[in-house]
Chains A and B, each alone.
Chain A
Amino acid sequence: MTVTAAMRRTGEPPGTSLAVSTTGLTKRFGARTVVDGVALAIPNGSVCGFVGPNGAGKTTTIRMLLGLIRPTAGSGSILGGSVADPATYLHKVGALIESPAFYPQLSGRENLKALARLGRISLSAVDPVLERAGLSARADDRYRTYSLGMKQRLGIAAALLPGPELLILDEPTNGLDPAGIVEMRGLMRSLAGDGITVLVSSHLISEIEQICDHVVMIRAGRLVHQGSVAELQAAQHPDFLVAPEHDADAATLATLLEAAGCTVTARPGEATALVAAPGLSAADLNRIAVGKGITLRQLTERTRSLERAFFALTSTDDSGLRPAGQEMGEIR
């Protein structure tokens, strides 16, 4: 994101004020609490990832921010307007909520015109957003003839229509093929470059990690963590993959490392172990091994990923997710 672009939009440097702030935001459907006292604080000009497993309450939270669902309790402010009165801020907000929804018989352009007229947005805004979403060539084709990727792009174009200060994208890469996902990431990065505050929800943490500078983690309707992505990654204890030169030394090495305060996870019959070593560096581990005459064949520090941070923060949960320290392609 370019700082100057963000300042141009909001009048202040990014991070100095909040685009979205909520207190105790709660939604109950009957006896079921879907969102439970969520307090969001999303800085102006940030690209904020909204992360959680499917069913964590992301979409319900987003719908409350957009005035589609009435909160059972709590309050909030979006771009200076109250969540209780969405009309005070929605003219500055663009949104793609779950899968894109348009009239199948109308062309992409006509669909956008219908939304522009409804929002009292100049029709001259339609062509530029179609261009930005890469849909100009197919703008006059009926929506029902669009591929899934094109439908998603039209959803992005609709979200950009009001020239938003805040863009809310709910699972924008859902259903896209790998090329479409890369394309969508590129689009989000370029939007962030314009200084728009972007809130993007996903259950794919790796995806969020690649494009976001701020993250909100939610699980079972409750806020787990929010803050800077870089700080979260830096705060993690490092993990190492460690293997002795001779397999016979594996058990001895594990005992030594555990005695030094490490947690060692080894698969039966494998010499390579995963070592969680709070407060220790690779050099420390090597020193421990060499001190007992064990030469290491492998000593690799694993990348500090957001995905592992998420599992570390939620490792006490028993809902079937794998605990911290295990590789996960995605959270489900």
Chain B
Amino acid sequence: MIWAAFASEWTKLRRRTLLLSTFIGLAAAASLFVILLFSQAPTAGDGGGLPSLQQLARPNGLVVGVTRATVLLGIVAFGIAAAQTASEYSLGTLRQLLVRQPRRVTLLAGKMLGVVSFLLLALCFAALAAFAVAVIAAHTRHVPTTAWFTATGLGDLFRALGDIALAVTGFSVLGLVIGQFLRSAVFAVIVGVAWIIAVENIITRIVPGTAQWLPGTALDTVAAGGTASASYSHGLIIAAVYLVAFTVATAITFTRRDVTA
């Protein structure tokens, strides 16, 4: 049953405009980030938070830089996911879907799986593109890339991609949840982006101890494989608690809500 909802969602997701704009957009954003990383990197030391060329040449050099783009990828994933659920209300298509699949939790689960899998595929495509661009950028700045292709380098890269995929999954689920609650794509994106970029920063500055307990920061921690202020496992647990709580709340409200749109 979930498979049917998943397959139906993919019929919508694979339309050319959405597919191309998401895949190419994410790949372009990630590639641009890599180009800036290499073009702005100092030869040695720390260039205002950017890794140096020496650091980039290490087995985990690329990982150090790329994980910093996670918030950008997360925001894109959040926006697309929020738009996908909220637009079912604004277009009125939800009533059609619920007549064909009246088990609402099944429909919600299938839609979530569809959107998350779509965004993870887009992420993989973006990662491949960014990696290819990184190899070219490294050669232009004479950064040796041999260490990237060692077992250690590839292991670090795949682990980092796994962590980023987890974080993007989290941002996608948050987007789906917020879109479902607010029922307006524009409003959901504004609220989500404002929260991730501004509100969490403000809260953290006012009450410094709260940083490791906020959902966006927790997902960043997961993407980075742990930070100085919070361990990887702590970030993973906090993010999971938020996501499970939000998903359960969404499932309950979606099941009970009258569909008048």
A70 vs B98: C-alpha distance in the bound complex, in angstroms? 13
Residues 86-111 of A, flagged 1 when their CB comes within 8 A of B and 0 if not, give 11001001010111011111100010
Binds A, one of B2-10, B72-80, B171-179, B232-240: B2-10
Q: Which of A63, A86, A118 contacts B97 (CB 8 A)?
A: A118
By beta carbon, the residue of chain A nearest B4 is: A120
How many residues from B make CB contacts under 8 Å with A?
Answer: 27
Contacts of B102 in A (CB 8 A): 67, 86-87, 90
- The answer to the question of A66 belonging to the interface, with a C-beta cut-off of 8 Å to chain B, is yes
Interface pairs (14), CB distance under 8 Å: A63-B260, A66-B99, A67-B99, A68-B98, A68-B259, A69-B259, A69-B260, A102-B91, A102-B93, A103-B12, A104-B91, A106-B15, A114-B12, A117-B8
| CB-CB under 8 A for A68 and B258, given A86-B102, A97-B95, A118-B97 | yes
Interface residues of A (CB under 8 A from B): 63, 66-70, 86-87, 90, 93, 95, 97-99, 101-106, 110, 113-115, 117-121, 158, 162
Pairwise interchain contact A105-B17, C-beta atoms closer than 8 A: yes
A291, chain B: closest CB distance, angstroms: 62
Pairwise interchain contact B91-A103, C-beta atoms closer than 8 A: yes
Pairwise interchain contact B7-A68, C-beta atoms closer than 8 A: no
By beta carbon, the residue of chain B nearest A155 is: B96
A101 vs B92: C-alpha distance in the bound complex, in angstroms? 5
- The answer to the question of B142 belonging to the interface, with a C-beta cut-off of 8 Å to chain A, is no
By beta carbon, the residue of chain B nearest A69 is: B258
Q: Which of A68, A106, A120, A158 contacts B12 (CB 8 A)?
A: A106
| CB-CB under 8 A for A113 and B91, given A69-B260, A101-B96, A105-B18 | no
| CB-CB under 8 A for A115 and B91, given A67-B98, A67-B102, A158-B96 | no
Contacts of B93 in A (CB 8 A): 101-103
Pairwise interchain contact B258-A70, C-beta atoms closer than 8 A: yes
B245, chain A: closest CB distance, angstroms: 24
Q: Contacts A63-B95, A68-B259 known; list 19 others, CB within 8 Å.
A: A63-B259, A63-B260, A66-B98, A67-B98, A68-B98, A69-B258, A69-B259, A87-B102, A95-B99, A97-B95, A101-B93, A102-B96, A103-B12, A104-B91, A106-B11, A110-B15, A114-B8, A118-B4, A121-B100
